[in-house]
Amino acid sequence: MEMRNRINLELRNRAPEEVTQLVLDNCRCDNGEIEGLNDTFKKLELLSMINVDLRSLARLPNLNKLRKLELANNRISGGLEVLAEKCPNLTHLNLSGNKIKDLSALEALQNLKNLKSLDLFNCEITTLEDYRESIFELLQQITYLNGFDQEDNEAPDSGSEDDEDGDEDDEEEDEAGPFEGYEEEEEEEEEDEDEDEAGSELGEGEEEVGLSYLMREEIQDEEDDDDYVEEGEEEEEGEGEEKEEEEEESVRGEKRKRDAEDDGEEEDD
């Protein structure tokens, strides 16, 4: 897709002066130059033209509010003086993957007084000895080169500012009081706690019932043992009575025998 058509698509029925961010990555430039981008984009703060086969910045319009310019993976080798003229408030510049070979190509960036971050990944200049020290010395206004400062501290993420804004919003919410439905959640939690306490009481009651049941079983076992002893005693008593009856019968038998013998003797007389 040509850059002009891509710009019209990105507008989405908006006026150019209303647009603050414009992403034109991977579209095709006309003869390696910017076409379709003009001075009407007065509020543009972010412009991304990655991998668009861009060779020159000569047709870059005046973008006084532009803060971040992404130009990675193009064919730019020089002509950076245009940036100070057209984008004087630029703070972030990404020239990674371009044809930047030496320090002289970067001298024009000295006029970008607000420039804080510069990316030169995969540029030929990065093969020079001590290129980082040379660039920090040349462009003393920048803080980060390829994402790190002179002490090799990594640059903060671009979303860190958004996170700070989010923290401020949280503080405002705290000051304003709890959000709607907060009391309902507390009531639900109290109900859950009551249910847990009721459940724990029920568990204790069940435990007491179980102990009582076991105690009753032990009492029943003792009663059964007593019954068994009594039954044993009754059997022993029965056996004693039978022995006494047998002894009495044997005595009566001997008496009858003696009586019979006495009768026989009387008959003989």
Confidence tier at 173 by pLDDT (50, 70, 90): very low
Q: Flag the least confident range among 76-90, 127-141, 201-215, 232-246.
A: 201-215
CA 256 to chain centre: 111
**78 has a pLDDT exceeding 50:** yes
Q: Is the pLDDT of residue 91 over 70?
A: yes
The mean-pLDDT minimum among 18-22, 51-55, 72-76, 190-194 falls in: 190-194
The kind and range of the H/E element at 199 are helix 182-268
Structure tokens at 168: 């401020």
104-158 per-position pLDDT tens digit: 999 999 999 999 999 999 999 999 999 999 999 999 999 999 999 999 999 997 5
65: nearest Cα among 28, 35, 21, 125: 21
Q: Tell me which H or E stretch contains 206.
A: helix 182-268
Q: What is the pLDDT of residue 31?
A: 78
Residue 237: burial class (beta carbons within 10 Å; 0-12, 13-18, 19+): exposed
Helix (H, G, I), strand (E, B) or coil at 7: helix
Q: Examine the pLDDT at 203 and tell me if it is beyond 60.
A: no
**Region 81-93 average pLDDT:** 97
Helix (H) or strand (E) holding 144: strand 144-145
Give the global pTM: 0.60
The residues pairing with 118 across neighbouring beta strands, listed in sequence order, are 93, 145
Q: What are the structural domains of the chain? A: 3-145 (3.80.10.10)
Least confidently predicted of 69-83, 187-201, 224-238 = 224-238
**pLDDT tens digits, residue range 1-56?**
788 889 989 998 899 999 999 999 999 887 778 888 999 999 999 999 999 999 99
